[in-house]
């Protein structure tokens, strides 16, 4: 990068920071395997699986806590019924919209054939089940459609781009995850303004046509821990999921400050959020159909997780990024999701600075209407890791005395190595 950029930014001071602990309610399941088995047995729905049946177990692309353990537990319970389970990737166009890519995404999450004890059958082929009353074609994974029974496993949480009674969860996995590239395109074609209607409408149709025997809904707490596991009857899935979504919204992690100037995020990735960084946390959304979160002027993203496999979706909602993130970005992994969802903003490339330090300094330099006490900054590792975060020294008066925030350190300077790379979160 030309010396003129460094000349413009090198003298910009970065405020001292303090580390704080955010204190959230913490309902959680301590023995996830035991809880999962109990829920499966108490629901009675595991009895729907009969000896000799082939059972497709749909698993998505998200980095869900304990997902591999939960999948393995469900697989084991299915095997106890004398059935033959297999895994089907249910992730729309993720994994570069290829069968091999989707298998790799599952394996990156720990959902391997060896660990869960069942084969992964990955394909982008779909069958058309028919059309909804509104004329929308309903597509479904071809391999899953040939199974005797189907089980859906997913986390239930607020969506990053729309609001509705049903957002991210089992119904969306049926509609978009198992719809693969074609199904995802159909659902997204009308835009996110219609998503709250289209997702449940298409899922309802598929639930009537396909032998979906139950869904396993997972809800996490603000600490990225498994808080609830519920086994849902297909006929009650929509209503039960809506209840779990409300619970998830009440218990999700967030930044406990309503307004500050700059949000620095150490890493984004598809394993963190579908949008790389969860807009429900950052307050920066890819569409006008969702809102909430803090009021922030500038967002800086520093790197990409290894588990994202080069998928930098979400970087476009930031204002500044780094060369190290840009060099990890793979267009073949990043663009298919945008081409399918029709939302192109999150894959645009923001201003790229050579180093982490310059990216943060650029954010400071471009602020408007800065208070007399200087720029206010919040730094987080990622939008899932929100227990311990950093805030600038000038935010201390805003958090002192709060029961939900504890100051952990004295003010300190952010440390960078000789290449301008920030010292990692400990």
CA distance 392 to 370: 14
What tokens does 142 get? 């071809």
What's the confidence (pLDDT) of residue 260? 98
Rg of the chain, C-alpha, whole Å: 22
- Residue 201's alpha-carbon distances to 91, 206, 425, in angstroms, are 18, 9, 43
Helix (H, G, I), strand (E, B) or coil at 189: coil
Phi, psi angles (nearest 5°) of residue 351:
-60, 130
Task: Decide if 175 contacts 187 (C-beta within 8 A).
Answer: yes
Reported confidence tier of residue 224, pLDDT bands at 50, 70, 90: confident
Question: Residues of the chain with pLDDT > 70: what percent?
Answer: 100
DSSP states along 24-35? ------S-HHHH
Residues 298-302 have a mean pLDDT of 99
**What global pTM score does this model have?**
0.84
Residue 128 has pLDDT above 90, yes or no: yes
CATH assignment of 32-251, among 3.40.50.300, 3.40.50.11440, 3.30.465.10, 3.50.50.60: 3.40.50.11440
CA distance 163 to 193: 9
CA distance 32 to 198: 33
What's the confidence (pLDDT) of residue 1? 55
Residues 232-246 have a mean pLDDT of 97
- Torsion angle in degrees (nearest 10) through CA of 381, 383, 385, 391: 60
Helix (H, G, I), strand (E, B) or coil at 369: coil
**363 Rama class: left (phi>0) / alpha (psi -120 to 50) / beta:** alpha
For all residues of the chain together, what is the average pLDDT? 94
Q: Where does CATH 3.40.50.11440 sit in the chain?
A: 32-251
User: What are the pLDDT digits (tens) for 336-370?
Assistant: 878 888 899 999 999 999 999 999 999 999 999 88
CB-count burial class (<10 Å; 0-12, 13-18, 19+) for 339: middle
């Amino acid at each position: 990068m030309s010396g003129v950029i460094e000349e413009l930014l090198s003298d910009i001071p970065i405020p001292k920071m303090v580390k704080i602990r955010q204190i959230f309610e913490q309902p959680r399941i301590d023995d996830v395997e035991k809880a999962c088995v109990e829920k499966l047995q108490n629901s009675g729905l595991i009895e729907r699986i009969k000896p000799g049946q082939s059972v497709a177990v749909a698993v998505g692309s998200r980095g869900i806590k304990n997902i591999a353990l939960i999948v393995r537990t469900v697989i084991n319970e299915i095997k106890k019924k004398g059935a033959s389970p297999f895994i089907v990737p249910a992730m729309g166009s993720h994994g570069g919209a290829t069968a091999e890519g989707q298998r790799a995404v599952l394996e990156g999450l720990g959902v391997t054939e060896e660990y869960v004890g069942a084969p992964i059958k990955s394909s982008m082929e779909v069958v058309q089940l028919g059309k909804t009353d509104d004329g929308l074609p309903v597509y479904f994974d071809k391999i899953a459609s040939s199974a005797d029974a189907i089980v859906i496993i997913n986390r239930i949480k607020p969506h990053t781009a729309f609001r509705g009674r049903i957002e991210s969860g089992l119904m969306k996995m049926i509609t978009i995850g198992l719809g693969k590239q074609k199904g995802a395109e159909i659902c997204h074609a009308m835009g996110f303004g219609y998503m709250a209607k289209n997702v449940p409408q298409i899922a309802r149709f598929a639930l009537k046509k396909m032998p979906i025997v139950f869904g396993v809904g997972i809800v996490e707490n603000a600490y990225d821990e498994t808080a609830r596991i519920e086994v849902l009857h297909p006929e009650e899935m929509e209503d039960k999921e809506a209840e779990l979504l409300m619970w998830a919204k009440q218990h999700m992690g967030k930044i406990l400050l309503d307004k500050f100037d700059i949000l620095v995020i150490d890493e984004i990735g598809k394993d963190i959020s579908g949008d790389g960084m969860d807009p429900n946390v950052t307050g920066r959304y890819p569409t006008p159909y969702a809102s909430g979160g803090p009021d922030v002027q500038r967002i800086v993203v520093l790197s990409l997780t290894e588990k994202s496999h080069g998928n930098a979706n979400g970087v476009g909602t930031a204002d500044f990024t780094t060369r190290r993130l840009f060099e990890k970005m793979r267009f073949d992994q990043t663009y298919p999701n945008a081409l399918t969802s029709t939302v192109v903003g999150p894959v645009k490339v923001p201003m790229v600075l050579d180093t982490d330090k310059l990216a943060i300094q650029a954010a400071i330099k471009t602020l408007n209407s800065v208070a007399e006490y200087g720029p206010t900054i919040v730094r987080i590792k990622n939008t899932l890791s929100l227990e311990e975060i950093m805030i600038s020294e000038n935010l201390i008066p805003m958090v002192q005395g709060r029961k939900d925030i504890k100051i952990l350190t004295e003010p300190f300077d952010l440390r960078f190595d000789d290449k301008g790379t920030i010292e990692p979160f400990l």
